[in-house]
């Protein structure tokens, strides 16, 4: 660890071996000490990695000991899940992580939500979608993120911690299909967004997390103003390489928004 970071705040990142964590980790390590939490067994050694089952309250409490902030990225992101799977992988683990954070009086939490929480608004008549609209999930996965946001708000109100929910778009992947151009979050902008969220002291907020895309489908004004998020990338630079839709996903896309 760099000497100048030896006294830096400790951020615990759940889902530490996942796609989003991998993208933002270089940004986090410039400013924080980082502890990665993941349930996966990997042969290679990863600096700061702790294996833990976040569905187990005792393991979650141990994993969060000493944390100054928690970045909760763990979960199953498939839009094709059943509700039972969403509850087990996303809702229950979030509740356990929040309880562990409360036990340690962690002052800052950033929770990974999704555009799917408001996916039914992804229609031309709503663009750019206002993050203040009531949730309208497009699938069981999106419903799980609505519950996650409600749990986060309740946690903030009950404990006084600062809780920020980020409704992430396409993160960690290039927009290979045209329908993803309006919801792309570049790797660098993902890092900028996570740092801004971790440094925010809002009591509670839920913000869209996409880049500064020309196809302005999701309004990131609140992320700019409330978090100080400053995106620099635009999916339009990749539009020539984006192809047609490969098939149905969920109601986030309909015939009007598939291409």
Domains for the chain: give ranges and CATH numbers.
Answer: 10-253 (3.40.50.720)
185-233 pLDDT, tens digit each: 999 999 999 999 999 999 999 999 999 999 999 999 999 999 999 999 9
Which stretches of 121-178 are assigned E, i.e. beta strand? 162-168, 170-171
* pLDDT for residue 64 is more than 80: yes
pLDDT at residue 84, rounded to an integer: 97
Higher pLDDT, 4 or 40: 40
Q: Which of 32, 121, 141, 229 is catalytic?
A: 141
Q: Is the Cβ–Cβ distance between 163 and 156 less than 8 Å? A: yes
According to the model, what pLDDT value does residue 3 have?
41
Residues ≥6 apart with Cβ < 8 Å to 257: 122, 123, 124, 179
- The helix (H) or strand (E) run that includes residue 24 is helix 19-28
Residue-wise burial string across 95-108, b where 16 or more C-beta atoms lie within 10 A, e elsewhere: bbbbebbbeeebbb
- 10: part of which helix (H) or strand (E)? strand 10-14
Integer Cα distance of 79 and 37 in angstroms: 23
Query: What six digits make up the tokens of 72?
Result: 């909760």
Mean predicted lDDT score pLDDT of the chain = 94
Give, in degrees to the nearest 5, the angle at Cα 213 between 75 and 138.
40
What torsion, rounded to 10 degrees, do the Cα atoms 140, 80, 89, 112 define?
Answer: -70
Q: Please report, for residues 20, 68, 110, 112, 127, the alpha-carbon distance to residue 148 in angstroms, rounded to integers and kept in the order given.
A: 17, 21, 11, 9, 24
Residue 38: in which H helix or E strand, if any? strand 33-38
Residue 32 is a catalytic residue: no
Secondary structure (DSSP) of 111-134 = EEEEGGGGGGG-SGGGPSBPTTSP
Which of the four pLDDT bands, split at 50, 70 and 90, describes residue 5? confident
pLDDT of amino acid 259: 65
81 pLDDT higher than 90: yes
Distances (CA, A) of 220 to 75, 184, 208: 24, 12, 6
Q: pLDDT tier at 48 (50, 70, 90 boundaries)? A: confident
CB 220 within 8 A of CB 163: no
CB 69 within 8 A of CB 109: yes
Residue 2 has pLDDT above 70, yes or no: no
């Amino acid at each position: 660890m760099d000497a100048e970071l030896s006294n830096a705040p400790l951020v615990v990142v759940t889902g530490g071996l996942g796609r989003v964590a991998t993208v933002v980790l270089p940004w986090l390590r410039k400013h924080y000490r980082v502890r990665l939490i993941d349930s996966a067994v990997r042969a290679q050694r990863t600096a700061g990695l702790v294996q833990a089952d976040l569905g187990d309250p005792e393991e979650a409490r141990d994993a969060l000991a000493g944390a100054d902030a928690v970045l909760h990225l763990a979960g199953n992101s498939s839009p094709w899940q059943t509700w039972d799977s969403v509850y087990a992988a996303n809702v229950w683990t979030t509740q356990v992580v929040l309880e562990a954070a409360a036990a340690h009086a962690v002052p800052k939490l950033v929770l990974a939500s999704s555009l799917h929480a408001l996916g039914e608004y992804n229609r031309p008549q709503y663009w750019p979608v206002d993050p203040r609209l009531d949730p309208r999930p497009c699938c069981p996965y999106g419903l799980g993120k609505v519950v996650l946001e409600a749990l986060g708000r309740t946690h903030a109100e009950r404990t006084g911690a600062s809780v920020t929910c980020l409704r992430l778009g396409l993160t960690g992947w290039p927009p290979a299909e045209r329908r993803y151009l309006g919801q792309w979050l570049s790797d660098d902008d993902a890092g900028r967004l996570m740092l801004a969220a971790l440094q925010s002291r809002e009591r509670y907020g839920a913000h869209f997390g996409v880049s500064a895309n020309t196809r302005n489908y999701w309004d990131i004004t609140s992320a700019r103003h409330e978090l100080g998020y400053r995106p620099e990338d635009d999916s339009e630079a990749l539009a020539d390489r984006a192809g047609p839709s490969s098939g149905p996903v969920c109601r986030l896309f309909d015939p009007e928004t598939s291409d």
